[in-house]
Chains A and B, each alone.
Chain A
């Protein structure tokens, strides 16, 4: 795999952000791990959805941080895509939760609703 190109030379003098690229990557990695731990450890469907949102936010943070490092707006374009994806995922997930609840399930346990009928 070829190494990543260095950031533009003339812009280095312009760029002194509050968080460096490495710190942003560490923040995103820890945030993703917290979200993953939430998905794996919690069985409540609402908490699992929220943990999924945290993980999507971590991925979006990586895109924006990389876009800020290489001064490319494409990172924020991907951020917009992830935002739309998160909106769709949350809407459909919450609709499924409401549907399960309306069918008389007393609990939101993710393990008890492992069969969806068309």
Chain B
């Protein structure tokens, strides 16, 4: 059975994710869409944390909402499409453009502050196989798979996939460098 308040928080987060995604694909200005996409990713990170995956949630915030969104913002700044620069900056600085993302982000922040004590509670003991005769310990709020479990799995049975992902990252690096180099030569 669901506890009512965490369930309501989870549904709130899911709704924030969906609203943010809808706003991303319906905006006209790219920067507005980037703002809404950041909020969407933050809400999805909260959903991951509520599912008992704090490591995945942290990576979602750090890599997705941090690094990848910085790439998007840089490209938007370098593209310079359409209107003159000052007009575009005043367009970005209008409070109406920031209102929606700020509202959704404030919702997420309030939820995070509410849920922080239970997320910081000590980890339950690791799950030790099927049911035994001994009675269970008192139930923690949720079963978390933390960094320890993920690291053991990542560098144990899945170490070949780590190597393959490193190949993928190298290929991406080389191809991005190649495309950028051609552009620099043609100038």
Contact = CB atoms under 8 A, between A and B. Distances in A.
Interface of A: 8-11, 13-20, 23-24, 27, 30-31, 34-35, 37-38, 41-42, 44, 46-47, 49-51, 53-54, 57, 60-61, 64-65, 67-68, 71-77, 79-81, 83-92, 94-99, 101-103, 106-108
Contacts, number: 228
Interface of B: 1-3, 6-7, 9-11, 14, 17-18, 21-22, 24-25, 30, 33-34, 37, 40-41, 44, 47-48, 50-53, 55-56, 59-60, 63-64, 67-68, 71-72, 75-76, 78-79, 81, 124, 127, 129-132, 136, 139-143, 145, 149-150, 152-154, 157-158, 161, 165, 168-169, 171-173, 175-176, 179-180, 182-183, 186-187
A76 B53 contact: yes
A8 B91 CA distance: 54
Contacts of A54: 21, 24-25, 37, 40
B68 A90 contact: yes
B143 A14 contact: yes
A77 B145 contact: no
B68 A86 contact: yes
Given A64-B51, A76-B145, A18 B6 contact: yes
